[in-house]
Amino acid sequence: MALQHFTHPQHPLVFNANERSGISCQGCWEPVWGPSYSCITCKASYHHKSYAELPLELHHPLHPNHPLILQPITLGDEEYNKCIDCNEFRFQNIYHCSDCNFNIHSGCSSFPLTIKSAVHKDYDHSLTCIWKLMKFTCNFCGKEDNLPFLCVPCNFELPKIKRQSLHRHPLTLNYWSYSFWHAFYGQECNGLRYNCQLCNYDLNVQCSLISNTLTHACHEHRLYLSNTNTKQECCSCGEHRYQVFCCATSEFVLDFRCAALPQTAWYNQHEHPFPLYYKLEDDSGEYYCDICEEERDPKQ
């Protein structure tokens, strides 16, 4: 039994039911033991049977707009090989969309997109994986990612129509797979949104759940969501916006983006969480990032 493989067009690869050399597979760089394909003419191009028989084209639910094409490992280009699912570079074939620069490892592409989880209060509900343009914060571990597992029944328990105090028309809940522009802080989002069909006004679901009256760790007084006549400067990041949270007893202002920041963030190369701080570390006037070592703005 033989097959013609796209990584070795010179000769067909011949099936071996019990390879015992332990040589590296050209599809995943793991040792080859057992069923495999290789070129007996060149004594090279060894592949696990599972990798040699991968389809050249894949239609995947995480990227429904275009087919994904199987690509060989590109040595020296870690960003090209970074997977949208595990967010890692591996010596493994990828499925790639050149139009969208979307990559998923061939191994990750076979993971189930619907799971059961004990961390969800309604264990009878399945969690479904979707891809989002804007990072979300996991309700369980607090880490940020683009591939949440969502409970569809619980999401659709949200009210179909709701009012938002800063907009005069009712907003309707719907799902938008393409990007939309967030009304409060001008960032692209996708997924569930509350939308005004008369004004093209969009809010993501997370922001629609924030109360109009806010008690926040960054300020001692209660803050009130307001639509101001002139742009107000956020006391945290320095951005100027019309729709902000204001203090009634002082001149403190917080924009919506800063109000929605998670109180804790994680970095995958550090074992401890990073709490959000609102004051400068010291009065030196010099602040640097410990990861890239570039000078940073302490307000950003």
Q: What is the DSSP string of 259-290?
A: HTS-SEE--TT-SS-EE---S-S-SSS--B-T
Q: Which candidate, 66, 146, 50, 62, places its Cα nearest to that of 106?
A: 50
Give the pLDDT mean for 249-262: 85
Q: Which helix (H) or strand (E) holds 188?
A: strand 188-196
Cβ burial 116-127 (10 Å sphere, 16+ → b, else e): eeeebeeeeebb
d(CA 146, CA 123): 23
Confidence of residue 263 (pLDDT cuts 50, 70, 90): confident
Give the pLDDT mean for 200-226: 82
Domain ranges across the chain = 2-52, 57-110, 158-208, 213-259
pLDDT > 70 in the chain, percent? 70
Q: DSSP assignment, residue 23?
A: P
Residue 102 pLDDT exceeds 70: yes
Residue 33 pLDDT exceeds 70: yes
Q: Which candidate, 199, 201, 6, 182, places its Cα nearest to that of 93?
A: 6
Amino acid at 167: H
Residue 189 pLDDT exceeds 70: yes
d(CA 45, CA 72): 12
d(CA 88, CA 82): 5
pLDDT, position 57: 92
Residue partners of 32: CB distance under 8 A and separation at least 6: 19, 21, 22, 23, 24, 25, 46, 47, 48
205 vs 250, higher pLDDT: 250
222 vs 141, higher pLDDT: 222
What's the pTM?
0.45
What would the pLDDT profile of 119-173 be if each residue is shown by its tens digit? 455 556 666 766 665 566 655 444 566 666 666 666 544 567 778 777 888 888 7
Give the pLDDT mean for 287-292: 69
Residue 31 pLDDT exceeds 70: yes
Amino acid at 39: C
217: left (phi over 0), alpha (psi -120 to 50) or beta: alpha
Confidence of residue 229 (pLDDT cuts 50, 70, 90): confident
pLDDT, position 156: 43
118 vs 148, higher pLDDT: 148
Give the pLDDT mean for 37-45: 89
